Amino acid sequence: MAEMRVFTRSEIEKNDDKDKVLFILHDKVYNVRSFLNEHPGGEEVLLEHKGVDASEDFDDVGHSKDAMELMKTYQVGEIADSERTNKRPKKGWISGYIKESEKNQESGLSFYLLMGGIVLVAVLFFYAY
């Protein structure tokens, strides 16, 4: 991951460096210049959001957990403390995380099943002898 920098919103807006396509997603700054051709949603939509806070539109698409992981590769910094919205991502955005917590519950459940199995074996063992 590139070295993290602190940006102001106007810096992102005014940036006209040809090597950078910067936008803001939930107070974090991304440079998707090298991702344009690879974005499954197409380069157009990324270019349309150049220089702006794309959080809401991004949330509305409801990106997957894989997309969230991929994003980390393109993060170049974050917005200065005083300019952060600190808004919680909308449901679409966190759908991946919700799935993640469901996964944890599942693994919690299998833990109890395992414990139940052990107890059952112990009881059977107890009655067998």
Distance CA 106, CA 112 (A): 10
Other CB atoms within a 10 A radius of the CB of residue 37 amount to: 7
Interaction of residue 61 with ligand HEM, rule CB under 6 A: yes
Within its chain, how far is the Cα of 18 from the centroid? 26
Interaction of residue 67 with ligand HEM, rule CB under 6 A: yes
- Burial, 42: exposed, middle or buried (Cβ in 10 Å; 0-12, 13-18, 19+)? exposed
- Binding map of ligand HEM across residues 25-44, x = CB under 6 A, - = no contact: -----x-x------xxx---
Size of the site for ligand HEM (CB under 6 A): 20
End-to-end CA distance of the chain: 61
- Binding map of ligand HEM across residues 8-27, x = CB under 6 A, - = no contact: ---------------x----
Positions touching ligand HEM (CB under 6 A) are 23, 30, 32, 39-41, 45-46, 49, 54, 57-58, 61, 63-64, 66-67, 70-71, 74
